[in-house]
Amino acid sequence: MSKIRKLNENDFMDYKHIFSIVGIVTGKDVDDGYLVSTQGKDYLLFPFGNIYIAYFEEKGKVQTMFLQTDDFQKIVSFTDKGKQFVIHDNGIDIIDSNHNQSSLYVYHNKRDQREDVSNNGVLYFFQYRSDIDTQLELRYEQNIFKDNKYLYPYHTDDPYYVSFKQGVTKSYQFLNFGKSYYRMDFDAFKNKFQFDLATIKDYGLGTVLSHNTISLQQSYSFSRFYRVLLQVGEYVTVTGYPFTKQYREEDIEEMIEQLSFQKKVPDSLIYFYNSKDQNIAEKQAIIDIFLNSEYAIEQQKGLYR
């Protein structure tokens, strides 16, 4: 059962240190607050328009949670254990105290929305490091079944697009186009000419003339990355193939590791994405208890007093 009441004088004495913190954070002299009890937990809740500050105890320590809502009082972001979580319909942003950021977004492939193919969706994984002001963008093929955007870890370790962008926060960033790489997959059965051409790039014409290309690659298929020269819209990518340098997967991995980024989406990020609706629902319940109470109108009247 959920309930709410105004904090009384005894509460003010018991949580005096919390009230002083609230005043520092908000710049207001807080003389009112609410005790919200739900899901077996007690929260000290302080509403400030679209910002809610909630305090609760966890493992003997007082935790602070900031909740931000939109104009419809639905949560769009919250803080938890020093990190800010921004929630979108198709993605999430997680920002730590050092302004490093990880983001995950899922989009339908508008050109192919069949459910029996592996690439009817695209997963975007962004990583940003504030100390070097650099962002890494990785894209993966993702299968979306009947609008279910639930992610599985085995879809998230083989990017087909890799892009590095430096000077993200600089005013002159429009001068820096960054470096992007696109993966091309070669199959001896589907296109032997392209397979042989990429093998020549790997081993040289002389070696290819004296050896079988399949035996050189030790496989009937392989992949290589090429610099992106031009991106037209969402689906047209122009690379330097076959004239520019080609990169093996190990080369791309080394570039990523040198900047302390990750090639694979962390399981923890996937878990949070998959559980974001439930996570938000639990926090939204705290706000809704206040909004559905007699105190909401009273608090709103005195907010800008």
- The model's pLDDT over 201-247, given as tens digits with 9 standing for 90+, comes to 999 999 999 999 999 999 999 999 999 998 887 778 899 999 999 99
For 21-30, the pLDDT digits (tens) are 766 666 555 6
| Chain segment 248-288, per-residue pLDDT in tens | 999 999 999 999 999 999 999 999 999 999 999 999 999 99
Contacts of residue 214, defined as CB under 8 A and 6 or more positions apart, other chains included, come to: 188, 195, 220
What residues contact residue 255 under an 8 Å CB cut-off, 6+ apart?
Answer: 162, 164
First-to-last C-alpha distance (Å) of the chain: 33
301/109: higher pLDDT: 109
Q: Are 165 and 171 in contact (CB under 8 A)?
A: no
Q: Which structure tokens are listed for 101?
A: 């950021």
CA distances from 38 to 41, 47, 51, 87, 186 (A): 5, 17, 19, 23, 57
pLDDT of res. 117:
60
- Taking the C-alpha atoms of 242, 244, 248 and 251 in order, what is their torsion angle to the nearest 10 degrees? -170
52: CB partners within 8 A, 6+ apart: 45, 46, 66, 67, 68, 69, 286, 287, 290
| C-alpha span between 256 and 250 (Å, rounded) | 10
**Cβ atoms 247, 202 nearer than 8 A:** no
Q: What was the pLDDT predicted at 66?
A: 94
- Give the pLDDT mean for 57-69: 86
Supply the DSSP symbol for 145.
B
Q: What is the pTM of this model?
A: 0.88
Instruction: Give 50-55's long-range contacts (Cβ < 8 A, gap of 24+).
Output: 51/26, 52/286, 52/287, 52/290, 53/22, 53/25, 53/26, 54/286, 55/15, 55/18
- Residue 33's alpha-carbon distances to 43, 109, 203, 249, in angstroms, are 10, 47, 72, 56
Sequence spans of domains, the chain: 181-253
Task: Find the mean pLDDT for residues 115-124.
Answer: 74
Q: And the tokens for 295?
A: 């105190």
Q: Which helix (H) or strand (E) holds 11?
A: helix 9-14
Q: What is the mean pLDDT of the chain?
A: 87
Q: Which candidate, 290, 279, 285, places its Cα nearest to that of 47? A: 290
One-letter amino acid for residue 213 of the chain: T
Residue ranges with strand state E in the chain: 3-6, 34-38, 41-48, 51-58, 61-69, 75-80, 83-88, 91-95, 101-108, 121-129, 134-142, 161-166, 179-187, 221-232, 236-239, 246-247
What's the chain's length in residues? 305
Q: How far apart are CA 196 and CA 164, in angstroms?
A: 29
The set of residues, in sequence order, having a beta carbon less than 8 Å from that of 102 and lying 6+ positions away, is 93, 94, 125, 126, 127, 128, 266, 269
